[in-house]
Structure 1
Amino acid sequence: MTFSTPFPHLLIPTPISKPATTAASPSSYSPLIHQIRPSSSVLRCSSISDMDATAGQGLYPLHRCKTIHLVRHAQGIHNVAGEKDHSAYLSQELFDAHLTPLGWQQVDNLRKHVQACGLLKKIELVVVSPLLRTMQTASGVFGGESYKDGIDVNPLMVANVGNSERPAISSLNCTPFLALELCREHLGVHPCDKRRSIHEYRPLFPAIDFSLIESDDDVLWTADVREKDEDVASRGMKFMNWLWTRKEKEIAVVSHSGFMFHALSAFGNDCHPLVKSEICKHFANCELRSMVIVDRGMIGSDSSTTNYPGKIPHGLDLPSDVANDKHPKEKGVPN
């Protein structure tokens, strides 16, 4: 869906460092800033505006950017049933669908990746949709270290959640996990997208923070009305604005294909079509896609933690060309 009104954010794919044994594909990402080597074509530009127009790049202050790592849940039982027969999505047997054995293999593979590329240590917050399959995925991918003797912490996920036959996942030295309704899948009609009550989830995921969910029961899902695509997109924009209110600069989001597709569809219209496609295409199960979100509308007020004011004590210290204009050198006085 294309929005005609301007948005306060810019969303741009960002590269993740890959393990040394993996060759990076030059077409696998589009970094925000490319290195520019001096060349005759650059030097022939007649003005700064010419350079900006031809380069197709952008510069933004670092403190007005966040990195978000978007993850779709691993394969659920509803994915398998729905691929065979789309009407299966109406089945009550798929209520709050859990992961399949293949889904857990996908989780294990993604965890190995985020460990190998160093991402697991960078993430400051994990935001997760409060449905069984997303919380299983988030726990398996971004969970804590193994339990150690003498250390008593709540598990992130208890054993055998969703008939998984998986051992408990520790929250030891774990990034905070926060459940949020804004990043849920399309609401309504499909029982697989209806959540359980929060008091049922808490014993299953003791270390996930459910405090931002206002209702214990699922009051958002209705049996007879499916949420419109444009309403999902609007909810996605609210979610992006909410992300910007967080103090964390590197956030993982574990959500759903439909939600992320419609949430991201508003972005990339001012980019190259291949970049637009990279941002907005549908997610595969357990796919991770990293983006930089930029505050172009000044909705944030954070100050930089790395900028430095320079000259101390403060005073007049103009660039030489400006100083020459303001203070023409006296005749016979050298520079």
Structure 2
Amino acid sequence: MSTSDRSSVVPVPSDAPRDFHFRYTVQKGHFLQSEDGTDDQTFDFKTQNFGLINRSYDTDIDEEPPQWTRFSNHVRVLEHSKKPNESFKVLFLGRHGQGWHNVAEAKYGTKAWDCYWSVLNGTDDITWSDAHLTTTGESQALDVNKLWTSQLPHGIPAPETYYISPLTRTIQTAELSFANLSLPASRPYKPVIKELLREALGVHTCDRRSTKTEIETAFPHLVFEPDFSEADLLWEAEYREPISARTYRFSMLLDNIFAEDTHVFLSLTSHSGAIGSILEVLGHRAFGLETGGVIPVFVKAERVQGARMVPPKEPSDAPPLCEEPPI
């Protein structure tokens, strides 16, 4: 498929189109990040137990078990007693740690980054094409690892499935976040690469993924979703994915996960823009994440007959490019 052909197609999962989709509802009252009164500019998930609200549930037998254990039991009971067209899941949405593209944008400024630097592979001894983590980014991922380490003995449910964007910085983040944890034997860290979990597509070289062979060589233990292509077929040098297309992409991604994955507690390691779109699809309030940040979301999905409406193709979301870097 040529670039001109691809540009008229909104990306969809590799499986066949479905004649149904899901309506998502955030179950508020469980995580502070879902509450309107929580300030995302000052909130620190690391000191707030991932944001889990200390409360009782009607499923509590007594108040002795840790808060995470009681929450997990509450979720399991809801999932067990669900209606045939319903599904309950808890999504741990993790943003990658600081990457070299973040450093470059901070160095040159967002305006100059968008119109000039972002289309290059790198400069000044910085490479940001399919950007890797900086040492700061690695430290941020290790901070998440410490939080999981401290909470696993207190009942936090380890993810049953680990989904990761195919971009290198997200893979590195997940590797560090979940390395050497005391995970249950039934829930090993077995990361699955999902093509559609990546950042906004096009123009910025930091969002162009490596080939499947290159990814496999660097991370041989990864599992790729079916029909994952060798080359990056979604990224285009002259077309930046508009918000409407990105929202549709993540709607299709979530529909795919909720239709195919019977597990309840899932980890999705992705990007700031991607997580923003996921939150929008779920009906969650906007909530900004720092690099390395994690936000859990408790969601009910209701199956609705009829395919999702494909949005019309819109102009590229990238601003006009500059021939020279702006001063």
TM-score, normalised via structure 2 length: 0.63
Partner of 2:151: 117
Kept in 1, the 8 Å contact 2:101–2:206? The answer is yes
Match of 1:74 in 2: 97
Preserved contact between residue 143 and residue 174 of structure 1 (Cα < 8 Å): no
| Conservation of the 8 A alpha-carbon contact between 1:111 and 1:140 | yes
Instruction: Please report how far the alpha carbon of residue 127 of structure 1 lies from its aligned counterpart in structure 2 after TM superposition.
Output: 0.1
Match among 291, 294, 297 for residue 285 of structure 1: 291
Q: Structure 1 vs Structure 2: percent identity of aligned residues?
A: 27
Which of 215, 223, 226 is 2:240 aligned to?
226
Instruction: Report 1:6-155 matches (<5 A).
Output: 8-12=23-27, 14-15=30-31, 28=51, 61-63=78-80, 64-85=87-108, 86=110, 87=113, 88-93=117-122, 94-118=128-152, 122-144=158-180
How many residues matched? Answer: 231
- Give the structure 2 partner of residue 262 of structure 1: 277
Structure 1 residues 132 and 34: alpha-carbon distance in aligned structure 2, compared to 1, 3 A threshold? same
Change beyond 3 A, Cα 1:228–1:113: same
Q: How does 1:170-249 map to 2 (within 5 A)?
A: 174-245=188-259, 246-249=261-264
Report if aligned partners of 2:22, 2:255 keep a CA contact under 8 Å in 1.
Answer: no
- Give the Å deviation of 1:296: 2.5
Whose RCO is larger (CA < 8 A, sep 6+)?
Answer: 2
> How big is each residue's C-alpha offset from its partner over 1:119-149, in whole Å with a ceiling of 9 and x where there is no partner?
7762111100001000000111113469xxx
Q: CA deviation at 1:216?
A: 0.3
* Off by >4 Å, runs of 4+ in structure 1: 21-25, 28-35
Aligned match for 2:301, one of 278, 292, 295:
295
Change (3 A) 1:99 1:199: same
CA contact (8 A) 1:90 1:191 kept: yes
2:130 maps to a residue whose letter is: D
Residue deviations 1:18-37, cap 9 Å, x none?
xxx96779xx55689867xx
Which consecutive residues of structure 2, in runs of 5 or more, have no partner in the other structure? 1-20, 33-45, 59-76, 81-86, 123-127, 306-327
Cα separation, 1, equivalents of 2:233 and 2:268: 23
Gaps of 5+ in 1: 1-5, 36-59, 147-172, 269-275, 300-335
- Partner SS, residue 250 of structure 2: helix
The two structures have a TM-score, normalised by structure 1, of 0.62
Alpha-carbon RMSD: 3.2
Residue deviations 1:227-256 (CA, integer Å, cap 9, x gap): 001111111111111221202111100001
- The structural deviation recorded for 1:293 is 1.7
Residue 67 of structure 1 aligns to a residue in which SS? Answer: strand
Q: Answer whether contact 1:99 1:136 (CA < 8 A) is retained.
A: yes
